[in-house]
């Protein structure tokens, strides 16, 4: 998979943020920044795609002999919690977990509404009840994407509409993602701060050393400014490149790139409101 480099990263930024007006430097400097919790690395699962993208990988798909379309790389359910709601999956997508930001137990029962101000978009209700997860469009009175999660002592199995999708086995030293008993991905745990995945010609490592996390030798994440800024860098052959900074105050979190394009999340008890820079996007309301 190609890393978002140079002009590619510029195009990905335009795709992600469109024509949004950048944050102003004054606006960023006026944030009453508070400290983040320490970073950490721990293998984990995120089953329901409840994420806010920071870095989303893409690929080109041919639509004809002469044209192609850029599409988002799917989320992988297996990845790593990095602290402060950050999650990095095995497909290279870095995001913020909505369940972590709202304090939702992903293994418990919850109901979450994704609501839009623009009537052109349909609101969506995400519901997890007794290990059955579904999405519902109230306007269409229709339930879609019904996932059944079967949990065992050291594994889970996920089915969609009664058809088996995948399973994940976990013990003290490995986490294994399988489809029909075929191993697709396998994470090994060397110690509390070091995980790795063996590929045919290389070893992919996910390591935390001191205050710094290195992911696949692609990205570097660390706390700066007395723990009040999280920095995300792309690792280069000669030097590293700053991609994003994350800051927060007591009820708001925002991230932005070097052009000050990014997203802002306002947290109010059981509600998360998402802005693309200062343009309203949608909100997540915890109903139950």
- Kindly list the domain boundaries of the chain, sorted by start residue: 6-286
Lowest mean per-residue pLDDT among 8-17, 76-85, 116-125: 8-17
Tell me the two tokens of residue 259: 């052009």
The predicted structure's pLDDT at residue 139: 67
What is the percentage of the chain residues whose pLDDT exceeds 90? Answer: 79
Distance, in Å, from the CA atom of 101 to the CA atom of 248, rounded to the nearest integer, reads: 12
Q: Tell me what the pLDDT averaged over the chain comes to.
A: 90
Contacts of 40 (CB under 8 A, 6+ apart): 81, 82, 83, 208
Question: How much is the average pLDDT of 170-175?
Answer: 96
pLDDT for position 4: 47
Distance in angstroms (rounded) separating the CA atoms of residues 86 and 246: 11
Indicate whether 66 pLDDT > 50.
Answer: yes
The pLDDT score that the predictor gives to residue 61 is 82
* 150 token code pair: 């079967």
Q: Are 21 and 64 in contact (CB under 8 A)?
A: no
Higher pLDDT: 101 or 15? It is 101
Higher pLDDT, 35 or 135: 35
pLDDT band at 40 (very low <50, low <70, confident <90, very high): very high
- pLDDT score at 1: 39
Position 92 scores a pLDDT of 97
Q: Provide φ and ψ at 70, rounded to 5°.
A: -90, 125
* Mean pLDDT for the stretch of residues 104-121: 89
pLDDT at 49 over 70: yes
- Per-residue pLDDT, averaged over 68-79, amounts to 93
pLDDT of residue 18: 54
Query: Taking 80 as the threshold, does the pLDDT of residue 63 lie above it?
Result: no
Does residue 155 register a pLDDT over 50? yes
Q: What is the mean pLDDT of residues 244-249?
A: 98
Cβ pair 263, 272 in contact under 8 A = no
Q: Are 44 and 81 in contact (CB under 8 A)?
A: yes
Sign of CA dihedral 73, 74, 76, 82: positive
- Is residue 5 over pLDDT 70? no
* pLDDT for res 146: 84
Q: Between residues 242 and 120, which one has the greater pLDDT?
A: 242
Higher pLDDT, 65 or 209: 209
User: How many C-beta neighbours within 10 Å does residue 112 have?
Assistant: 23
pLDDT greater than 50 at residue 14: no
Rounded mean pLDDT of 69-91?
96
* pLDDT band of 33, cuts 50, 70, 90: very high
């Amino acid at each position: 998979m190609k890393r978002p480099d140079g002009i590619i990263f510029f195009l990905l930024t335009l795709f992600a943020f469109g024509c949004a007006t950048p944050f102003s430097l004054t606006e960023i400097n006026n944030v009453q920044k508070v400290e983040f919790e320490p970073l950490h690395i721990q293998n984990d699962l995120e089953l329901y795609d409840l994420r806010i993208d920071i870095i989303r990988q893409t690929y080109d798909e041919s639509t004809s002999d002469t044209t192609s379309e850029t599409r988002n790389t799917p989320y992988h359910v297996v990845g790593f919690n990095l602290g402060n709601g950050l999650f990095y999956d095995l497909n290279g997508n870095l995001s913020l977990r909505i369940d972590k930001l709202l304090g939702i137990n992903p293994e418990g029962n919850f109901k979450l509404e994704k609501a839009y101000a623009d009537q052109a978009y349909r609101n969506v209700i995400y519901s997890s009840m007794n290990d059955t997860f579904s999405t519902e469009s109230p306007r269409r009175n229709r339930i879609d994407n019904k996932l059944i999660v079967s949990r065992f002592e050291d594994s889970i199995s996920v089915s969609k509409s009664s058809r088996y999708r995948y399973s994940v086995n976990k013990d003290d030293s490995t986490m294994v993602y399988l489809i029909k008993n075929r191993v697709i991905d396998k994470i090994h745990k060397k110690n509390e701060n070091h995980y790795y995945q063996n590929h045919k010609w290389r070893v992919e490592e996910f390591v935390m050393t001191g205050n710094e996390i290195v992911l696949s030798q692609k990205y570097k994440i660390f706390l700066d400014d007395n723990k009040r800024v999280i920095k995300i860098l792309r690792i280069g052959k000669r030097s590293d490149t700053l991609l994003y900074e994350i800051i927060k105050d007591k009820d708001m979190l925002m991230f932005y790139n070097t052009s000050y394009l990014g997203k802002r999340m306002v947290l109010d008890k059981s509600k998360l409101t998402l802005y693309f820079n200062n343009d309203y996007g949608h909100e997540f309301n915890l109903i139950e």
